[in-house]
Amino acid sequence: MQEGVIQYQLTYVCQPLPEHLDITLLEACRARLFAASLIGQDDQRYAGLGYGNLSHRVELQGMPDAFLITGSQTGHLPALTRQQYALVTACSPQANRLQASGETEPSSEAMTHAVIYQSLPSVQAVIHVHWPDLWQNARKHKLWVTAGEIPYGTPQMAAAVQQLVRENGFPSTGLVAMLGHEDGIIAWGKTLAEAEARLTYYQ
Ligand SMILES: [Zn+2]
């Protein structure tokens, strides 16, 4: 399965983000991850496609699990504008459907983010990076893992993450190595800083 291809059914409305939504915190965090090559692009990896994405829950009336997420195919860019973020307004992991707006489509890994927000109401931020060294040493570090036969961005991945969260007592912060997604690590927290700290702990 090719990296970067959206696997879910997307209902998308191309329109600017609501004005009150702010990308400043996300951009500051993203810049640090980009500098560490945890988000980026490398001609030698994943057929040269960009990798890594992050998201933050937002306040929107009637949309309890809405979140802002970096747009599809933005991993190679050192900094993003508002036009390069998408707003996920609803999702159904069971039906593999996702609804979004913005001036770019959401990351192909938005479904995994959505499942974490739905399963864990206290979680405010989710970060997905590619980190070969940590991923290869997932067992040594005793990381939570999803199985090697489960590819990224699929309903199976959504179900596997839901199951992990359940089995571990609905942790408000966590870090998972997705063994079916080369180098893929996902972390979450009650704040963006907490999610980032889960990652930097291993640097
Ligand atoms: Zn990825």
B/e letters for 135-150, b = 16+ CB within 10 Å, e = fewer, are: beebeeeebbbbeeeb
**Contact predicate 37/105, CB 8 Å:** no
pLDDT at residue 18, as a whole number: 95
Give the start-to-end residue ranges of the domains of the chain: 9-200
What is the structure's pLDDT at 193? 98
Domain 9-200: CATH superfamily, name plus number? Class II aldolase/adducin N-terminal domain (3.40.225.10)
pLDDT score of 3 = 57
How far apart are the CA of 61 and the centre of ligand 1, in A?
A: 30
pLDDT digits (tens, 9 = 90+) for 155-202: 889 999 999 999 999 999 999 999 999 999 999 999 999 999 999 999
0.85 exceeded by pTM: yes
Distance 110 CA to ligand 1 centre (A): 10
Ligand 1 centre and the CA of 136: distance in Å?
15
- pLDDT-based confidence at residue 1 (cuts at 50, 70, 90): very low
Provide the residues around ligand 1 (an ion) whose CB is within 5 A.
Answer: 184
Question: CA 123, 129, 131 angle in degrees (round to 5)?
Answer: 135
In angstroms, rounded to a whole number, what is the distance separating the alpha carbons of residues 191 and 155?
26
Nearest to 123 by CA among 167, 174, 72, 157: 174
Note the Cα 88 to chain centre separation in Å: 12
pLDDT at 131 > cutoff 90 = yes
> Residue 27: pLDDT band by 50, 70, 90 thresholds?
very high
**Tens digits of residue pLDDT in 76-117:** 999 999 999 999 999 998 889 999 999 999 998 899 999 999
Residue 143, pLDDT above cutoff 80: yes
**In three state form, how does the secondary structure of the chain look?**
CCCCCCCCEEEEEECCCCCCCCCHHHHHHHHHHHHCCCCECCCCCHHHCCECEEEEECCCCCCCCCEEEEECCCCCCCCCCHHHEEEEEEEECCCCEEEEEECCCECCCHHHHHHHHHHCCCCCEEEEEECHHHHHCCCCCCCEEECCCCCCCCHHHHHHHHHHHHHCCCCCCEEEEECCCCCEEEEEECCHHHHHHHHHCCC
Q: How far is the CA of 17 from the centre of ligand 1 (A)?
A: 24
Contact indicator for 51, 132 with CB cutoff of 8 Å: no
Cα of 181 to ligand 1 centre, how many Å? 7
Residue 4 has pLDDT above 70, yes or no: no
Cα 95 to ligand 1 centre (Å): 22
pLDDT of 113: 95
